[in-house]
Chain A
């Protein structure tokens, strides 16, 4: 069983859901983000958030995948002050929806003053509502941006064990682990991590507080990044226990602090959810072990993501 704790399924196809389910992914988390271009009205933001707590959740259920999300104002759109103020007004309405496991993904993009202001206000919201936080670390000026994010989080008094720092690489991982945060890695070709590098990270740092995700979205990315990376780790001799931690259990522990994601959700969902949300599309029935087809044709030849 795998959990992909960072996916933008709203921009993926049903083929992706089918392949993810076949590869053993039982649940995914969709953090609120921009959509490749900035929104200009709060109303479209409302519709976006209601889509990820509504139709996308339903759509995933049809493929036997449980869908969760994180709610937040992303750093790029935080730079539009009028929009940002209006989004901050409506965020509390969404933060308590079912299946919202964190405030996220929030953080810095260009580390502007406005980004900083809304980042801090959302950290306070997470504290008030007792929700974990998913941090998007910037792609540019990454190392400094990551350190600054962590300093601000600690300044606001959040417990680092409630915060996942995402999009790490070899340069940032040690600082993140040393400070007690969860360190997530997005296996995303060309700009973030490759999965052979990921294997080396797990060899070097072990499996404590390390999380693998795909961050799959509308760009060139791979919704099978988590199972593929698990398979590469297996071939590199990393133990099943460690693989399970970094591709399933750690994310469940971190985001499980919200009380909104539990193993029972896919092992033994409440009858009302089974009837309405999943329409009989159970991942598993009666606590059976899942049938995982890691050796699907095509997967083998296509394990590497560079």
Chain B
């Protein structure tokens, strides 16, 4: 079985186990109808009826089920999905007839007439769709959304951006997250895709915030540390010296990831923070809700 079929089977199994027998029977009928449809109507009707027939409970996957998800495809993380989202993605996958271009066109049509719940579900499904590289423009559209949950459907717990976004798209995804107050930590690939241009953009953004007297998220420094140039080091030094306790911890963690000797020099002044980092007491995940 290819990925699409296995993903569809996995999702529909989870859904079936969480709804009444009657609702599960309805859902399996819809999957069959969508698979054998020569037209689009069964798909959009089924997608519309999903929350009414299956409800919107959290999927609340067990550890074993989450392991199945990770085994299905690297980075696939449905830990925050709901029943209706899994069902909708399963239905969209069931409509795949082996032609990725036709699939992309169908997905575009669905997005154009989607309500907000469907939009979020369809974006969360990105890592499971066929023809991954054909969906880049659509994914970038989601990453430009002004609706935070739509943005986060692309950006958070989703391997698609780190795999498919070019550097500029990636950098704007990170910057947009900060701009709309969305945490960075749930973005997959933050550290591996950090780059000098992003570090520069983020420092400029920090200066803009400082000039306006607005707070700067401590998470920002995570993508600056590994690629800090001289100016960025000066910024980190400034945070280390005059930031809040939380900001100083973040600056130290960023400097700890910086290969430049000046970073070591700055860290020499804060041995207590270096100690805490080495004992694993300061981690980026802890800044995500600050």
Contact = CB atoms under 8 A, between A and B. Distances in A.
Contact of B113 (A90, A99, A270): A90
Interface string B24-53: 000000000000000000001100110110
Contact of B52 (A54, A93, A259, A275): A259
A96 B48 contact: yes
Given A46-B113, A57-B116, A96 B49 contact: yes
Query: Which DSSP category, helix, strand, loop or mixed, fits chain B's interface?
Result: helix
Contact of A272 (B48, B56, B112, B147): B56
A95 B146 CA distance: 25
A50 B113 contact: yes
Interface string A48-77: 011001110110000000000000000000
B115 A57 contact: yes
A96 B115 CA distance: 10
A220 interface: no
Interface of A: 46, 49-50, 53-55, 57-58, 90, 92-99, 259, 270-273, 275-277, 279
A189 B207 CA distance: 49
A271 B150 CA distance: 17
B82 interface: yes
B116 A279 contact: no
Nearest to B146: A55
Given A270-B56, A279-B148, A98 B51 contact: yes
Interface string B109-153: 000111111111000000000000000000000000011111000
B73 to A, nearest CB: 23
Contacts of A97: 48, 115, 118
B105 interface: no
Interface in B148-183: 148-150
Nearest to B148: A279
Closest 9 CB pairs of A and B: A96-B48, A53-B115, A276-B149, A97-B115, A272-B82, A270-B56, A54-B116, A58-B147, A93-B113
B58 interface: yes
B116 A58 contact: yes
Interface in B51-74: 51-52, 55-58
Given A96-B48, A277-B117, 10 more contacts: A54-B115, A55-B146, A58-B149, A92-B44, A96-B45, A98-B115, A270-B55, A270-B82, A272-B58, A277-B149
